[in-house]
Structure formats: structure tokens, C-alpha cells
Amino acid sequence: MALNTKKYEFTNSDGLTPRKFLVCPQCREYITQVDIENFSSCPFCNVRLNRNNELEDFVLQPLAERWAEQYSSSLSVRMR
Ligand SMILES: [Zn+2]
């Protein structure tokens, strides 16, 4: 099956802290997780972003990473 069902495109910033952005399918601007949470549409061209699984994962990713960080840091404290 070579069918491409991928709807959204993502990119990583080159800054000091690696961040992931959603590339707007219409205007190609970079959209952050916060933008999607607050507006659920592109803040640049106002195109509506459908909250599919791909987008939910993207929005929830920083939260999951923070949980993992807290979990691993509390684990290392306990091991000391
Ligand atoms: Zn846009």
C-alpha cells in the first residue's frame, strides 16, 4: 500500500532547544502547539486545522515529554 494518508507536515527548529512546528498546509508558516490549542486554526492565514490523531499527538507531545522528564528526575533522586 503506497497510499500516502499523511495530512500534516512537521518541521524541527534549529534553535538551542529543539522544537517541533506544524507547517501550515496553506501558507507554509510554522505553527506552534500553543497556537493550535488556542485557535485550532492557522494564526497566519486562518485556515482551519482539523484535530486528527496526528495533530493531537503533536499538541500533547510537550506534555508527555515533561512527564517523562519529571518521572526520570524523581527516579534518579530516589536512587541516590
Ligand atoms: Zn496558514
**Residue 57 Cα to ligand 1 middle (Å):** 19
In the chain, the number of structural domains is 1
**Residue 34 Cα to ligand 1 middle (Å):** 15
The whole-number pLDDT of residue 79 equals 59
Which residues are CB-contacts of 33 (< 8 A; sequence separation ≥ 6)?
58, 59, 61, 62
The whole-number pLDDT of residue 46 equals 95
**Residue 33 Cα to ligand 1 middle (Å):** 14
Distance CA 64, CA 59 (A): 10
Identify the domain containing residue 56 by its residue range: 19-79
Angle (CA) 37-41-45 rounded to 5° is 140
Which residues are CB-contacts of 6 (< 8 A; sequence separation ≥ 6)?
54
The verdict on residue 6 lying in a domain is: no
Residues 13-53 pLDDT 10s: 777 666 789 999 999 999 998 898 888 899 999 999 988 99
The verdict on residue 14 lying in a domain is: no
Q: Record the pTM.
A: 0.67
